[in-house]
Amino acid sequence: MTTITVSASNTYDVRIGAGLLSSAGETLLSLNGGRTCRVCIVSDDNVFPLYGKTVAAALTNAGFSVLSHVIQHGEGSKCLPVYGEILNHLASEHLTRSDWLIALGGGVVGDLCGFCAATYLRGVKYMQIPTSLLAMVDSSVGGKTAIDLPAGKNLCGAFYPPHGVLCDIDTLDTLSDTIFADGMAEVIKYGFIFDRALLDILMRDKTAFDRETVIARCIDHKRRVVEEDEFDRGVRGLLNFGHTAAHGIEQHSDYTVTHGHAVAAGMGIITRAAEAAGLIREPFSPMLEQILADFSLPSDTDFTADTMTGAILSDKKRDGGIIRLVIADAPGHAILWPCPAADCEAFLARGIRQAKQN
C-alpha cells in the first residue's frame, strides 16, 4: 500500500493499494479517534451492488451503525433535486455533526456526496472511497465538491476536503473499457502538464502499466498542486487541461459523451489550436493523438466551435472577459493562457479538424 498525505486546510491521507475495501471500518475508526458513530454510505446503482455489502460489513464489524442512500448512476444525478433528496434523507435519519458520510463510487458520487457533507448541518466529516480510475487520480483528492446547474457543469459547489481517501485498485477490474478509458484521460493529462516520464511509461507499457505506482504518481501531482493553491486561484488551474472544451462537448452531447472522453478531445483541440496560433515552438500533437489512441480515447469532436461557445462562456474558470485556457506548451509542461472570451470560439475552431467544420 502507498500512502500520500495531503496537507492543506485539512490534512488527510490517501491510501492506494489492493484489497482496501475490507479495511474501511478500521480506517474510519482511526480517522474518528477510535469512536464509533452513524455512517451514511452514498453510492449509485452500479457501484453499490458490487461493493456496498463489503464496505457496510467492514463498517459494521468495526462498530459503526450504517445506513445508505443509492442514487441513479450518471451525470444527470449531480443536480439540485438529487442533492435535496440526500439532505432530506440525512435529516430524516437525524444524522448529527458527529456522524460521517462515505462517498462510494466514481466522480459523480464523490462530488455530490462531498457537497452534501459540506452543507448538511454546515459541515460533517466524510471519506472518499473512489471506485473509478478517474475518481482515484483526480476528483476524490483536493476537496472540490459540486453539483451541476442547467447553465453548466459544477457551477454550484464548495471547497471542502475529505477526511480520508481509500483507493482500492481492485475495484478497477469491474470497470467497463469506456469508464477505464475515462480515467486514463486524466492520467494522460498529468503527463502532459507535469510529467514527461509518466508519458514514457504509458507509451512503453500501454495498458499493462503498474496501477498502484501510476495512480500514486498522479495523486502526488494533485497533492502538490492542492497544497500550493487549494482554492484554485493560480497553479491549480493547470489541472483543467482540456476541460474548457470538454465541458462544452459534455453539455452539448447531453452528457452522452463521458467526462474523460470529452477531456481527451479537449486536449487534442486545445493543443492543435495552440500550435496553429504559434504558442508551441515544437508541435507535438501527433504524439498526444497517438497516446490517446493507445487508450481508445478521441482527440477531436464532431461539434463545431460555435456550438460549444455558450457552455464555455458559462464556465466557472471565466474571469470577467477572460477565459484561462490551459496549454501544454511542451510534453510535461503547461501554462495558463488568458484568452479574451470574444476570441475563444475562433481559437477553438483552429483546433477542430477542418473537415468537420464544413
Summarised one tens digit per residue, pLDDT across range 250-261 is: 988 999 999 999
Summarised one tens digit per residue, pLDDT across range 56-108 is: 999 999 999 999 999 999 999 999 999 999 999 999 999 999 999 999 999 99
CA-nearest of 194, 193, 191, 219 to 205 is 191
Can you give the pTM of this predicted structure?
Answer: 0.94
Mean pLDDT calculated for residue range 145-172: 96
Give me the helix-helix angle, 285-294 and 177-194, nearest 10°: 150
Mean pLDDT calculated for residue range 185-202: 98
pLDDT value, residue 358:
40
Give exposure, 66-75, as e/b (b: 16+ Cβ within 10 Å).
Answer: bebbbbebeb
Grid coordinates given for 24: 474501511
Q: Residue 355: is its pLDDT beyond 60?
A: no
Mean pLDDT calculated for residue range 265-282: 96
pLDDT value, residue 315:
63
Q: Residue 314: is its pLDDT beyond 80?
A: no
Q: Residue 214: is its pLDDT beyond 80?
A: yes
Question: Quick one: pLDDT band at residue 151, thresholds 50, 70, 90?
Answer: confident
Mean pLDDT calculated for residue range 207-230: 98
Helix residue spans in the chain (DSSP H): 24-31, 53-61, 80-92, 107-119, 133-134, 177-194, 196-205, 211-228, 243-252, 259-276, 285-294, 305-313, 344-349
- Percentage of the chain beyond pLDDT 70 is 96
CA-nearest of 57, 30, 29, 26 to 41 is 57
Question: Quick one: pLDDT band at residue 356, thresholds 50, 70, 90?
Answer: very low
Quick check: helix, strand or coil at residue 333?
A: strand
More confident residue, 354 or 327: 327
pLDDT value, residue 330:
96
Q: Residue 280: is its pLDDT beyond 60?
A: yes
pLDDT-wise least confident of 27-36, 123-132, 197-206, 316-325: 316-325
Question: Quick one: pLDDT band at residue 141, thresholds 50, 70, 90?
Answer: very high
For the chain, the straight-line distance linking the first and the last C-alpha, in angstroms and rounded, comes to 52
DSSP string, 11-64: EEEEEEESS-GGGHHHHHHHHTTT---EEEEEEETTTIIIIIHHHHHHHHHTT-
Q: Which amino acid is at 218?
A: C
* CB 182 within 8 Å of CB 259: yes
Residue-averaged pLDDT of the chain: 95
Mean pLDDT calculated for residue range 301-318: 77
As a whole number of angstroms, the distance between CA 154 and CA 110 comes to: 13
